[in-house]
Structure 1
């Protein structure tokens, strides 16, 4: 086959080349959809596509958004394509909300409503969002059932991002890197396939201290580069990802994977690149009672773990009776 055929590698068009392509074909869309398309708007379209649609190539992704935007504009009987219509199209295409001006005060209130007793840590997180663009990485440590996982879920909910949790205790051996990144037992990589479909993702790396050295090094590189290049030389973007790494522990001395096999070098390799390290506090008796009262669906097992973790002497049966009487 190699004697008969030659491999021809086609490079992706640049943004500048894509702009010229769009200018060349816009007449067809104007004629078909009976709508005016300004050249300045085409440049804005490319910038929006470049910012939000990472794991597809030019010019296809720009042409698709142009076409879909024109369809929407025609549906609403508009005479001219607008930036708002393009933004709306991208939001629908990716199932996200494009935050031109994030209401950080509102986000902080929403998170504090969901995650009780961690006001200081949540404030640190919000401050990081205010001063840092995506991708953003957080390391959250604290006792069991103090709100680390719920923080990631709630953040995804309020940002309208996809949520993905990877339990790092399943990636303790060196071959785990292959399991994480490549097709495994005929199943595509959960991480990469998710990022291709949902570039805007809150990624929770739970129990990060239990991950093998290769996994730690991988995410260290991703923090540097903002992407991962697979075996087919395709770049999977992580530029719109919020990373949350969690570890169970109740003091700063637990940080750096003290109980794991990680080296001191690996500790600094990853932690030097984390945008914010946040300590979650043990929950007080009052907070635990409030959680139980507000969340009637909470399991008895979780209540038991909360009380055991904090050594809080509460008569569980008596408390549940009181809650039932109050509700």
Structure 2
């Protein structure tokens, strides 16, 4: 009942019996409810002996589950190995943070046993091992299964090679990043801090954001990205953790805290961190030091399973100025003077590593061209179109799409204007409407300027099913001569060349 002091409260009805000893009562409540309801009535508190029940340790919880194991085995008709019981306690303590032991460990073995009833009887397992416990933990904690697996050494062993295959020209930076990730996964880090806190520095368009994206893909994690240009004003910082009580938007929550609460094991990317308001760095200090952040409602969000990556262009302009004239850059891609000037010492001191990204050399741009063409080839495959890139066209793209100051981003614009835009008309209305093969070559314009053009080696092809229908229709027309005359008279004055097979048009390449 209420403890507001009314005469008919349940607490007031119990007080005489409790004082006389005629009623023996054992109650349980949480700390929050005890302070909110029970502690206000001092007379009721005096009639109870308060006993604090603390969360048991991991070894104690293992012993508790060993005692409960026979009951769950009898109920679910399965058998739990000792390794599965130990893994349920250790993994739940590591990855489930909004509940306490032994409750969350008991739920893990209970859900694992119940999950066997969801599969057919032929596929049900009679013995629950560590693998089944890991799958349940991954489902409850909303993290990929291989993240909690103890045998993901192969992914980590080849992490640097995997990243170098998709991010070009940054071997030193990717090796430093992979080494830092391996150090964290080896357990040689503070368990109360995030998995890693890294600052990617370097010019624009050299692969900083792409490296973070590919790291998330390689590790099988969710990528949560925030553009710091949206948080340049002081009042916008509150959007990350939520507005305080009494302010508009208090009930909407924080963007950052809600995102990490939904995906507690992810790669958090803060793009262009130098543009954020200085108040944001004070929030990040708590995250980087203790792995926790309190939102507007007082709930603690756990960041201990987050890989925090921040990107910055600080120092890129200084490097560009140093490259002029006879004065060459002494430490291209590794200039920390601007970083030391922009970021405070306490912020830099909490970083696990500052990963410098250098400018892309011209030979690396050729690899970027191949990557963009491969993506375009995958897009055109849905239209039954095959694209080929001549070597001279590849060299033309490298020359015209390379900008030392802008990195690889101009290449995407050149490919869009020179290849994708002309191809769009051909795919929708022209020679490639029904599929075919197109080859990108270099042609000379009327003014003598070289530009990209298209050659169709096999002519405008058609999808195979439609060609079979046309051939079958012609055979029927030949067997019925009377049915062909109206069609011939109708098309005689139009385009008789289209009646010829496609091989006739393929004898000579067509250029546009």
| Residues 67-110 of structure 1: per-residue CA shift (max 9 Å, x gap) | 22113455443333211210122234424123424333421111
* Separation (CA, whole Å) in 2 of partners of 1:82 and 1:205: 39
Contact 2:203 2:407 in 1 (8 A): no
The reply on whether 1:307 has 2:403 as its aligned counterpart is yes
Q: Which residue of 2 aligns with 1:179?
A: 239
Q: Which residue of 2 aligns with 1:45?
A: 88
Offset at residue 64 of structure 1 (A): 3.0
Q: Which residue of 2 aligns with 1:13?
A: 55
Stretch moving more, 192-201 or 66-75:
66-75
Q: Which residue of 2 aligns with 1:261?
A: none
Offset at residue 286 of structure 1 (A): 2.1
The reply on whether 1:31 has 2:91 as its aligned counterpart is no
| Partner SS for 1:88 | helix
* Separation (CA, whole Å) in 1 of partners of 2:166 and 2:277: 32
Aligned residues: CA RMSD: 3.5
* Separation (CA, whole Å) in 1 of partners of 2:206 and 2:300: 36
* Separation (CA, whole Å) in 2 of partners of 1:287 and 1:172: 34
Stretch moving more, 237-246 or 24-33:
24-33
TM-score (ref. length: structure 2): 0.54
Contact 1:144 1:306 in 2 (8 A): no
Contact 2:201 2:311 in 1 (8 A): yes
How many residues are aligned here? 316
Q: Select the residue among 194, 206, 209 that pairs with 1:149.
A: 209
| Partner SS for 1:44 | helix
Offset at residue 208 of structure 1 (A): 1.0
* Residue pairs, 1:240-279, within 5 angstroms: 240-249=305-314, 250=316, 251-256=335-340, 258=342, 267-279=344-356
Offset at residue 120 of structure 1 (A): 0.6
Contact 2:223 2:266 in 1 (8 A): yes
Contact 1:73 1:81 in 2 (8 A): no
* Residue pairs, 1:110-129, within 5 angstroms: 110-129=162-181
- Unaligned 5+ segments in structure 1 are 259-265
* Residue pairs, 1:1-327, within 5 angstroms: 3=4, 7-8=33-34, 13-16=55-58, 19=62, 22-23=65-66, 25-38=68-81, 41-73=84-116, 75=119, 76-93=123-140, 94-96=142-144, 97-98=146-147, 99-100=149-150, 101-103=152-154, 104-133=156-185, 134-182=194-242, 185=249, 187-249=252-314, 250=316, 251-256=335-340, 258=342, 267-296=344-373, 307=403, 309-310=405-406, 321-322=440-441
| Residues 147-200 of structure 1: per-residue CA shift (max 9 Å, x gap) | 111111111111111110111122222223321101674543221112112111
Contact 1:12 1:57 in 2 (8 A): no
Contact 1:15 1:46 in 2 (8 A): no
| Partner SS for 1:138 | strand
Cα gap change, 1:326 to 1:171, in 2 (>3 Å): farther
* Separation (CA, whole Å) in 1 of partners of 2:261 and 2:54: 17
Cα gap change, 1:198 to 1:144, in 2 (>3 Å): same
Offset at residue 204 of structure 1 (A): 0.5
Cα gap change, 1:217 to 1:58, in 2 (>3 Å): same
Cα gap change, 1:209 to 1:38, in 2 (>3 Å): same
Stretch moving more, 287-296 or 111-120:
287-296
Contact 2:80 2:127 in 1 (8 A): yes
Cα gap change, 1:56 to 1:286, in 2 (>3 Å): farther
Offset at residue 304 of structure 1 (A): 8.2
Q: Find the structure with the greater CA-based Rg.
A: 2
TM-score (ref. length: structure 1): 0.82
